[in-house]
Structure 1
Amino acid sequence: MPQTIDLNADLGEGVGDDDAMLTIVTSANIACGFHAGSPTLLARTCAQAHRRGVAIGAQVSYPDREGFGRRYMAMDPEDLRADIVYQIGALTALASATGARVTYVKPHGALYNTVVADEEQAAAVVAAVRSVDPGLAVMGLPRSLVLDLARDAGLPVITEAFADRGYRPDGTLVPRTEAGALLTDSAQIARRVVDLVTTGTLTAVDGSTITVDAESVCLHGDTPGAVEHAMATRAALLGAGVDLSAIARG
């Protein structure tokens, strides 16, 4: 297994401690305003990430500020494609104004989970990214449909795992409405990520061992104890001899 890993976090959402997370992660998935964030906040987050040498990704979502982007929306593919183009364009402009560059795209929340298997929405995401910049990478779950379609379209892809989320035996995430969806112990989370990076496996919610091919690990910034979880994870990885580096550098 690789001894280098990217650490990413969802930032620019107006929740959590972005300043602290930017001292820990190597990539920042910055909100684009559709589920959270204001233009001022997003510009500030881009500038802070750029100053710290943290890679910037566009965290695109359904137009769902009320539900924080965590509610499924049965969108027309053309509308979804246009919404994603709009979001990438907005964050690209804000980043450019700070001297930074958006280098990858990560769907957020319900959209992230939907494009694991929904062909229409996955295709809309890929078409949107490719129409903006075919050099942009797409970040998502291993074996997800959106990554398969992105590869077929010639886009770079980044496979991702989650430090603090429960997994089903099929490699998908346990829904937040179900037991076991979220891990809360920093030491447990840190050990789990080290095991993931060094062995390529995780323990699913039913106790089974699953294989997870991840080039990046997401450290959620909006959960209780997020900074402590992230610090413990970073320290544990470095202590295990794992290098930390962004994949999609600007």
Structure 2
Amino acid sequence: MREIVFDTETTGLNPATGDRMVEIGCIEIVNRVETGRTFHAYFNPDRDMPFEAQEVHGLSSLFLSDKPRFSETVDELLEFIGDAPLVAHNAGFDFGFLNNELHLCGRSSIAMNRMVDTLALARTKHPGAKHSLDALCMRFGIDRSHRVKHGALLDAQLLAQVYVELTGGRQIGLGLVADSGTVAVAQSAGPVTTREPRPARLHAALPEELERHRAFIAKLVNPLWERLLPAG
């Protein structure tokens, strides 16, 4: 199954009040495995960059001034994402900005039923825990040491790893195959490892252990099971 994990950077929090998307990063995964195909673009928002937003992602108005408008790159973006489900963290935010940009250049919105929200997945799987991308990377042992500021492509790459963990972990793709008394563990990427089954272990108590148990039971005063036995 093909899916696209993506992240955006913006000038603010609300496209309805004029905020614009200035960066998008997309990672292609197939059957929860990264294929190596990515899409990344910066956009000139045709407006100033608020200081607070620049502090988050480091993208200044000067840096973005020579970048293409979203409308100039939209065809390439839509071709890359195709009809795949779109995975994002707090996905309603990213979908809101993406659909706003599509609306501004006269394109159809992306249907919300294509949205996969890893924030909702994390809240369901780990209620009461912290669910930021940094917190989830820490939970799953994902290296984020190179994440100094937010960046759409970097965050999408981290999120792709988080998404795999939230939906089953890195063991996805393993299969158990029985054949002539052996167990083969087949991985989607890598050699097949074959192991002989372990012999059954004996768990019967030794006679001296049974005797010590009877002696211990005899010392108990008014044990619970005697109170539950029927009278007579």
The normalised TM-score by structure 2 is: 0.30
Q: Looking at both structures, which has the greater relative contact order when contacts are Cα pairs under 8 Å and sequence separation is at least 6?
A: 1
Instruction: Name which one, 1 or 2, has greater alpha-carbon Rg.
Output: 2
